[in-house]
Amino acid sequence: MTDLARQRFVIARLADFCDHRSQALREHREPAGYLLAKLAELQEPLRLLKQDVLRGAVDAFLAKLDGPGAASRDVDELGHVLDRLLSRGDFADAFFNLSEHALASDNGRAHARAFLLGLRAQDHLGEEEGAAAPDEAWEGLVREMHGRLKLDVLERCARRRPLDPRRRRFLLRRLRHSAADYCAVLRVPARAGEAFTPFMLPRVEALVEANRRFLRLLRRL
């Protein structure tokens, strides 16, 4: 089950990031670095939230597997979750273990159970620095968020001429306004039914990454 305290922490940190009235930011000597540090605080709770959601879906599937067997629709439902939370390699391996042939025998079901319980959700934010090759689906999601936040406009403004402190403050304020507009759809959860979905969690990750990339660009200019 999803730990709602983690989700509340994520929303609270996103609110800190989006707060353009923050006195701490105004007084900070390197505001882009300060905001990057705020985003870094989200990496571990987001990873744990994804693992919570993954384990919840796996446990629900395995409870059905203990009965007469998993129907194809149960495999499909689990597949929708795995597609959003696993790496491409783990997803392919999972479906090899969830094939009709694999689940037809006691030994195959036991192997599928062990495999599913050992899965780890992909930590895009943690893998970003050392990735040997880009994950196309992840890059597409980050590009989608980049456009949603209109970061292309901010990048053109940033590159137009040398940045002075006043223009940097303006760009950071616009960055946080855009993030705040997107975060307006996020709710502080009061019950399990309000937990982040497998659809939403990667988008929160992509929101963090799109902002990280812009802030790193700003520090280089």
- 191 burial via Cβ count (<10 Å: 0-12, 13-18, 19+): exposed
Pair 143, 128: CB distance under 8 Å: no
Model-wide pTM > 0.85? yes
| Spatial separation of the C-alpha atoms in residues 90 and 82, rounded to whole Å | 9
Tell me the DSSP string of 180-197.
HHHHTT----SSGGGSPP
Which segment of 22-26, 113-117, 195-199 scores lowest on mean pLDDT?
22-26
∠ Cα 33 34 38 (to 5°)? 115
Q: How far apart are CA 46 and CA 207, in angstroms?
A: 12
C-alpha–C-alpha distance, residues 143 and 147, integer Å: 6
Predicted local distance difference test score (pLDDT) of residue 39: 95
Could you read off the pLDDT of 143-178 as tens digits, one per residue? 999 999 999 999 999 998 888 888 888 899 999 999
User: What is the rounded distance in angstroms from the CA atom of residue 155 to the CA atom of residue 192?
Assistant: 39
Helix/strand/coil for 146: helix
For residues 145 and 128, which has the higher predicted lDDT (pLDDT)?
145
Q: With bands split at pLDDT 50, 70 and 90, how would you rate the model's confidence at 190?
A: confident
Mean pLDDT along residues 23-48: 86
